[in-house]
Structure 1
Amino acid sequence: MRIEVLFPEYCSLFGDLFNVKYLQACLPGAERVDVSLREEPELSGGGLVYMGPMSERTQEKVIKKLMPYKKRIGELIDSGTAFLLTGNALEVLGSHIIREDGSRLEGLGLLPVYAKQDIMHRHNSVFLGEWNGAEVTGFKSQFTMAWPTEGAKGLFTVKKGVGLNKKCPYEGLRVNNLFATYLQGPVLPLNPCFARGLLEAMGAHGAELAFEGAAQEAYKARVADFYSKVR
């Protein structure tokens, strides 16, 4: 089992690499491959490809780096390779990003979504949603909102909080075994149900969740707390 982490020196603004560390705890035999922005991605298929949130300036560099691999990434998505994109990483694979001055930054065009920047107004919120009948909690801090286009399939149904944009009924996107969400930080250890689903998508059938007892107790307490605080 291989976990390929794209550009961890830049794409982990909110401690998102703890998602990878948690997966390593669940899969102690997994091979972790960190790919620097100065290196070429392997994209060998199987296991998981992970990318976390980055600055707006880094987005431009990452898009430029990955554009020659657009066809390969599309092939992996179509063939069912698992991807996890957190924070604004999903925008890299989207159609385009509309900058605040009205100019466009073209993305890889592999996800049915585009984003709009609003650099003067950072959106911060907590989120409560549903995935496969279970609640999902998380945090959002972003300068963009996203608009899904034809054929988009949401990842989490919004129960409380904001989806891809303030009027969208769902948060994130799913294409085959690609999971993309604006939620950031340690999403997987905070949501055991989602972590288990990702492990299944990776082909790690029957893998045990690390620290499952403690994770489940903390999850239940957090869901109850979110219900009391999120409007």
Structure 2
Amino acid sequence: MQIEVLYPEQCNLFGDSGNIRYLKKCLPDAEFINTSLNDTPFFVTGDPDMIYMGACTESNQEKIITRLMPYKDKLKEAIDNGKVMLFTGNAPEIFYKYIEKDDKSKVECLGIFDLYAKQRIYERFNTLVLGSFDGKEVVGFKTQFTQVYGDNSADYFVKVERGAGINKESKLEGLHVNNFFATSMVGPLLVMNPYFTEYLMGKLGVEKPECAFREQSIKAYKDRIIDFRTCRCVTE
């Protein structure tokens, strides 16, 4: 099994590199391929079982969009063919139509999905998220300068109970298309959600998947669900 990690030197904010550290514990026999900013991505010539990318700064985000633009058709093909892909933090925005900046200028993105982001660099939005996917609760955090707009009602990832979805008015978070999962939640997401991690492992062909440190992870997950459901402060 091969898992490609896109731009780990840049995409490591908010503890998102913990997703890969945890996957390495869950999948000790897997090969993890790190793609640096000036590398040709492995998915261009190879066939990884999974592609992952985490959160990065806004300046690095623009560099990454430029690097991936020549391969947008290849990425769309991977999504259409059911490649397992997980993009967290602001990484999903590279797949949208554009990012509108404070000065109203637009950064053109890959345009694979009919969504767009409004970036307000002096208005950081923080919230916890408690929602559900595939019959299980999902927990996470958001800390972002963007709000996302467009219709994701047919292909959202998480239905939100507390917190916000793709924008402050939405209760539908992220995208789930075939085996492509995109969310602005950080946490790290996989560490905080052992059942979703096992779900991904199953999609990767693991029979009877069990995440690393399962007993402790599930206890922490259940405790966090109680905290998120009962706490007074949800959004800052």
What TM-score bracket applies, with the shorter chain setting the length?
A: over 0.9
Work out whether residues 90 and 181 of structure 1, in 8 Å CA contact, stay in contact via their aligned partners in 2: yes
> Which residue identity lines up with residue 42 of structure 1 in the other structure?
F
Superposition pairs for residues 1-231 of structure 1, below 5 Å? 1-43=1-43, 44-149=46-151, 152-229=154-231, 231=234
The separation in 2 between residues aligned to 1:90 and 1:42, in whole angstroms, is 19
Work out whether residues 16 and 185 of structure 1, in 8 Å CA contact, stay in contact via their aligned partners in 2: yes
Unmatched 5+ stretches in structure 1: none
* Alignment: residue pair count: 231
Work out whether residues 192 and 209 of structure 1, in 8 Å CA contact, stay in contact via their aligned partners in 2: yes
List, as ranges, runs of 4+ consecutive aligned residues in structure 1 with deviation greater than 3 Å. Answer: 149-152
The separation in 2 between residues aligned to 1:150 and 1:134, in whole angstroms, is 20
The separation in 2 between residues aligned to 1:108 and 1:150, in whole angstroms, is 17
Deviation at 1:149, TM superposition (A): 3.5
Work out whether residues 148 and 166 of structure 2, in 8 Å CA contact, stay in contact via their aligned partners in 1: yes
Deviation at 1:77, TM superposition (A): 0.8
* SS of structure 2 residue aligned to 1:14: helix
The separation in 1 between residues aligned to 2:9 and 2:152, in whole angstroms, is 34
Deviation at 1:152, TM superposition (A): 4.8
The separation in 1 between residues aligned to 2:169 and 2:95, in whole angstroms, is 22
TM-score, normalised on structure 1? Answer: 0.96
Report sequence identity in percent. Answer: 44
Deviation at 1:201, TM superposition (A): 2.1
Deviation at 1:14, TM superposition (A): 1.1
The separation in 1 between residues aligned to 2:151 and 2:17, in whole angstroms, is 29
Deviation at 1:229, TM superposition (A): 1.0
What do the CA deviations read for 1:151-193 (whole angstroms, capped 9, x no partner)?
7511000100011001112111111100000011311111112
Deviation at 1:198, TM superposition (A): 1.4
Q: Cα–Cα, structure 1 residues 12 and 130, in superposed 2: closer, same or farther, change >3 Å?
A: same
The separation in 2 between residues aligned to 1:149 and 1:33, in whole angstroms, is 34
Q: Cα–Cα, structure 1 residues 217 and 52, in superposed 2: closer, same or farther, change >3 Å?
A: same
* SS of structure 1 residue aligned to 2:174: strand
Unmatched 5+ stretches in structure 2: none
The separation in 2 between residues aligned to 1:32 and 1:151, in whole angstroms, is 33
- RMSD of Structure 2 on Structure 1 (CA): 1.4
Work out whether residues 152 and 175 of structure 2, in 8 Å CA contact, stay in contact via their aligned partners in 1: no
Work out whether residues 163 and 170 of structure 1, in 8 Å CA contact, stay in contact via their aligned partners in 2: yes
> Which residue identity lines up with residue 36 of structure 2 in the other structure?
S
Q: Cα–Cα, structure 1 residues 116 and 152, in superposed 2: closer, same or farther, change >3 Å?
A: farther
Work out whether residues 95 and 109 of structure 1, in 8 Å CA contact, stay in contact via their aligned partners in 2: yes
Deviation at 1:150, TM superposition (A): 6.8
The separation in 2 between residues aligned to 1:93 and 1:142, in whole angstroms, is 17
Work out whether residues 112 and 152 of structure 1, in 8 Å CA contact, stay in contact via their aligned partners in 2: no
Deviation at 1:121, TM superposition (A): 0.6
Deviation at 1:25, TM superposition (A): 0.9
> Which residue identity lines up with residue 93 of structure 1 in the other structure?
F
The separation in 2 between residues aligned to 1:179 and 1:138, in whole angstroms, is 14
> Which residue identity lines up with residue 182 of structure 1 in the other structure?
S
